[in-house]
Amino acid sequence: MSILIGKQTRLLVQGITGREGAFHTQQMIEYGTNVVAGVTPGKGGEWIHGVPVFDTVKEAINATEANTSIIYVPARFAADAIMESADGGVKLVICITEGVPVLDMIRVQRFLKGRDVRLIGPNCPGLITPGEAKVGITPNRFQMSGSVGLVSRSGTLTYEVMQALNDKGIGLSTAVGIGGDPIIGSNFIDILRLFESDPLTDQVVVIGEIGGTDEQKAAQFIKERMTKSVTGFIAGRTAPPGKRMGHAGAIIQGGEGTAEEKIKAFEAAGVRVAQQPEEVAEIVASQM
């Protein structure tokens, strides 16, 4: 079983006529995702990879009944694109764009408050339900479905852990990249709650990194609310304080957000923490 995306997904692509949008639209179609529409203002009436292009999200939804949107527009337009999707009636918005200004995301958070819409990202790889649908930039080679859910702040580590699991014959229900920016839509707890409620997800993998306290909050949720086995990995063990490591949110400031703190919190919650990404698969296999 999957969470958030699957055969029921009807996807529209914002920024479909751009280089990244067009490329990944083709990749998603080849994977089997039901891409029903694209949106680029001023390009309505065109077709990209057999997908009709509309000027606005509302026009696209009215014509195609799209229920999910993915955003590949430049950073300066990303906030408006997110809000346009939410206002148009889409229930799930995935923003791949990186470099979205923090002030723009504060504006997005305020706009989404109280609305029945879920945001994944920005600056994330998106989601994949192996064998059913891919909404994002995850490589198409991952086709093995199974009962392990994965949620991660890191795109690259998501792929590495998925490959390690596949190499051991372990498939995933859904993998969700939530992004590593300081302000994002859905967080660890939001996704963990969905996996906990999914009857066909038996285990969960959490991939965190330095910076902030989201992993500590997730550990508390796992300790208090999760009944399923959770395996963790924290990137950035050797990162020096004050130096950003990759993501905008991956920085140790004021002595807070270290890998050691996060690992300690996970272990206190009964989460087995891998030393290396490939060790995640070994721990998961031992708990099956």
Q: pLDDT under 50 in the chain at which residues? A: 249-254
pLDDT at residue 254 in the model: 45
- Whole-number Å distance between alpha carbons of 79 and 185: 12
Q: Which residues pair with 135 in a beta bridge?
A: 127
pLDDT at residue 168 in the model: 96
pLDDT at residue 211 in the model: 81
Angle at 98 between CA 119 and CA 133, to 5 degrees: 50
- Whole-number Å distance between alpha carbons of 196 and 103: 33
Domains of the chain: 11-120 (3.40.50.720), 144-286 (3.40.50.261)
pTM of the model: 0.93
Residues noted as catalytic: 247
pLDDT at residue 243 in the model: 53
